[in-house]
Homo-oligomer: A and B are copies of this chain.
Amino acid sequence: MPALRVDLFAGRTIEQKRELAQALTEACVKTLGVSPGSVDIIFNDVERHDWATAGKLWSDDTKPAPPPAS
């Protein structure tokens, strides 16, 4: 309460997931007024050949990935 499921491309490090879990939890605490302990998150790694947009697997995408937003 709340419970989050996060589908993301495989390859993220545990450190990234650690930071993301903290940041997502803080986002819930601030906007919903819940206690941190009530926030439950599951990460689900998805391979690029298991994710498709516009009918095309991401593993078939030959365009270079966009630069990170920074």
Contacts and interface: CB of A to CB of B under 8 A. Distances in A.
Nearest to A8: B2
Interface residues of A, number: 57
Q: Please give the count of copies of this chain that the complex contains.
A: 6
Interface in A28-52: 28-37, 39-46, 49-52
Contacts of A35: 66, 68-69
Interface in A43-67: 43-46, 49-60, 66
Contact of A20 (B3, B5, B28, B44): B28
A1 B38 CA distance: 13
Interface of A: 1-9, 12, 14, 16-37, 39-46, 49-60, 66, 68-70
